[in-house]
Amino acid sequence: MQFPALSLKFFLKKIYFFLFIISLGVWIVLFHSIDNEYRVRTITVIGKSDAESVIGTTALLNKNIWFIDEIKAREVINKINPFYEITKIQKEYPSTLSISVRRLYPSAYLDVGNGFLLLSKEGNILQKDRILSRDSIPIITYYQDIPYSGYHAGDIIDKKDIRDVLYYIEVVERAKEKVIRIDIAGYHMLGLYTDDHEYLFSSEKERELQLYQFEEAIKQFQIQGITYSRIDFRFDKPVVKF
């Protein structure tokens, strides 16, 4: 009487094992299908022309979209594309990445030891040159020694007075003047020079106040037809030299 019971028990074990194998197989197939469905197949770059390219994006192809860290991916792509700012990487499930970029343009050269750093107005280092390759771009002379090897293309310049000068270059050029030279003698002395005028700013004074004073002074002199050689915005009120 014990044999049928043992036989039934052995049969049930066989059935359970068979069902376990089938269930495991189903889960493996399901996992593989889901994993394949959520791998990056398409990358869309927004903000560039067809004639331009953003390198490094193909490294994200076929990666599982769930495990992509948007912040780290943005940092990596920014480093190898110094002429672009990667503003956002967005996941579009199940298999698309949307990368938003902004083109950066040269604003000035920074004269450093044994070479030059080409800077955008945002303070990004676009490239490093041993000799000048763009004659139309003004050169910043800095009062401290900056080692050529201390920065790399894709880095962001970390000195406030240099970043302020880049801001004021744009301010002056919006007034239809071409900055041809810049001297930084310290936080208190940012000199921007055009063919006809000198403009002196300070990193110790608020940008917005100096911008307001610049725009008001230029507007008044244009209305009144007054010529001047220098305007100094470092003090409470602008000091004008005629």
Check pLDDT > 60 for residue 235. Answer: yes
Strands 139-142 and 115-120: unpaired
CB within 8 Å of 64: residues ≥ 6 apart: 35, 38, 39, 40
pLDDT, the chain, mean: 87
Domains of the chain: 8-103 (no CATH), 106-241 (3.40.50)
Quote the pTM value.
Answer: 0.78
- Three-class DSSP category at 115: strand
Q: Which residue has the tokens 């066989």?
A: 14
Q: Report pLDDT for 238.
A: 93
Q: Model confidence over 133-153: pLDDT tens digits?
A: 788 899 999 999 999 988 899
* DSSP code string of 133-198: --TTS-EEEESS---GGG--TT-B---HHHHHHHHHHHHHHHTT----EEEEEETTEEEEE-SS-E
* Model confidence band, residue 225 (pLDDT cutoffs 50, 70, 90): confident
